[in-house]
Amino acid sequence: MIKPIKGFSKLSKSDKIEWIAATYFSDANAAKQAIKQYWNDDQKLQQLHDEFIENTISNYYLPFGVAPNFLINGRLYTIPMAIEESSVVAAASKAAKFWLDRGGFKTEVISTTKIGQVHFIYSGDVDKLNAFFKFVKPKLIEDTKNITKSMEKRGGGTLEIELKDKTSDLENYYQLHATFETLDAMGANFINSCLEQFAKTFKSEALHFDEFSESESYIQIVMSILSNFVPDCLVRVEVSCPVEDLSDNPSKSSDEFAHKFVRAVKIAEIEPYRAVTHNKGIMNGIDAVVLATGNDFRAIEAGAHAYASRNGTYSSLSHAEIEDGIFKFWMEIPLALGTVGGLTNLHPLVKVALEMLGQPSAKELMQIVAAAGLAQNFAALRSLTTTGIQEGHMKMHLMNMLNQLHATASEKETMVTYFKNNTVTHSAVEKALSKLRMLASEN
C-alpha cells in the first residue's frame, strides 16, 4: 500500500525521481532512464525549465512545427505551432496555400479590453451601497496608481469600474466589475493586483462611510480575480472568393462544394453535438500557436467556448455564406494574448516563435492566431464535405503507427509508398508490415 509522503517539495530533483521510481514502477531503473532521457545537456537551460513550475522531474516534449504561406492582411507569415496531433500542421499549411492565391486572410481587431471582478456579499440597503460606490470609486482608482502607473504611460490601465447588483441570482451578492487595457501583456498579474487593491480599499473605506449603519459597513469580500471570459477582447478573421474559384480540382464542382460547405457550417450553428467537434477543430490551430508563443491555451479555450455559448446554446464559432456569387467564411473569437511578460521573455523557443512572426504586438498576434484557427477549420470542413476526414488524417497518422510497430527506416519508406493508394487502418498497417517482414525473411 502506497503511503503519503511528507516534504516532497523539499526533496532534491534526484530524490523526487528515486521516490517516484521506487514507489510506482516495477522496473525502477527503466522509469528513471525514461524520465532522465529528456533532460537537457545544457544545465542552465535545464534549470530554466525546472523553475517554470514546481516539483519538476523532467521535460515533456511536443513537436514544434511551422505552417508557411499564411497571407494575412497582405503580409506573408510562417506560423509556429506546438502540437502532438497528426495532420494539424499539414492541414493548416494546405489551407494557407489554398487561400494564398485567393487574397489570403483579412483580419481586424475589434476590441482588446479585459475583465476582472471583485465578488462580495452585502446585506444592507442597496441605495446606501450605490451611494458608497459613487463616493469610493475615485479612491479605488487612486489607490492603484502605484500598480497602473507604468501601464498608463504606455496607454493602458483601468478603463472603468461598475457596481453590479447580482442579488436576483444569489442572495446578497454584488460585484465590482472592472475593465482593463493591458496592451501587449496578457495582463493577468496586473489585473489581479488591481482587483485585490480595489477589494482592500472598498472594504476599509466602508467602515468609515457615514451613511452605513454598523452592520451595513461590514462588506464580506469573497474573492478578487480576473475573468477568462473576454467577449470584448475580440478579433475577426475572414476569407472570401468567387464561388467559381473555390475548387482547385477540375473534376469537382465549385458550386456544389460551396453550398455543401455552407450547409456544414449551418449544421454546426444549430447542433451542439456537431458544434463542439467543429470548434475543437478551430482550437487545434489556435492552441498550437498559443502554446508556441508562450501564452495560456487553457484560458483561450475557456474563453472561446464560453463565447460559443453566449446566446444560451453552444454554437459554431465560424460562419459561412454565399452572396452574389461570393463565398465568404469568417469567425469572430475572443483572444486575450500577450507578447511581453511570462514565458515570452524566458522560453528560448517562444523567443524563436515571436521573432519568426516579426515580433508582433498583442493585437498582431491575435490576428495571426485567429487566421490559424480559421485555416484549420476550413481544412477540416473541406475534407469532411469532400473525401472525408479519415483519408488525410490516417495517412498523417501512419508514421505514428509504424513507430509503434518499431518499423525500420526502409520499412517505413516501403509502407508510405504502399499506403499512398491503400486505406490506412491499424490492422491494415500491421498486416502489410507483417507481410513485408515475412518476404524479407524468406529472401
Quick check: is 280 catalytic? yes
HEC assignment per residue over 32-49: HHHHHCCCCCCHHHHHHH
Q: H or E segment at 82? A: strand 75-82
Could you tell me the strand order of the sheet in which 220-226 lies? 157-165, 173-181, 114-121, 220-226
CA pair distance 301, 286, nearest whole angstrom: 9
CB 331 within 8 A of CB 40: no
Answer for the pair 346, 352: CB distance below 8 angstroms, yes or no.
Answer: no
Backbone angles phi, psi at 277, to 5 degrees: -70, -40
Annotated active-site residue 305? The verdict is no
Contact 360, 73 (CB under 8 A): no
CA 162 to chain centre: 29
The Cα 195–Cα 8 span in angstroms is: 33
- Contact predicate 205/143, CB 8 Å: no
Which among 211, 206, 130, 207 is positioned nearest to 165, based on CA atoms? 130
C-alpha cell at 410: 526502409
Listed in sequence order, the residues at least 6 apart from 272 whose beta carbon sits closer than 8 Å to its beta carbon are 313, 314, 315
In angstroms, the CA 188 to CA 333 distance is 19
- The answer to whether 411 touches 402, Cβ cutoff 8 Å, is yes
Q: Which three cell numbers stand for residue 282?
A: 478551430
Backbone CA torsion sign across 313, 317, 318, 321: positive
Distance between CA atoms of residues 438 and 344, nearest Å: 52
Catalytic residue among 280, 305, 351, 426: 280
- Given 196, 296, 347, 397, which residue is catalytic? 296
Residue 119 annotated among the catalytic residues of the structure:
no
Q: How far apart, in whole angstroms, are the C-alpha atoms of residue 112 and residue 53?
A: 29
One of 119, 393, 395, 397 is an active-site residue; which one?
393
H-run or E-run covering 80: strand 75-82
Active site residues: 85, 280, 296, 393
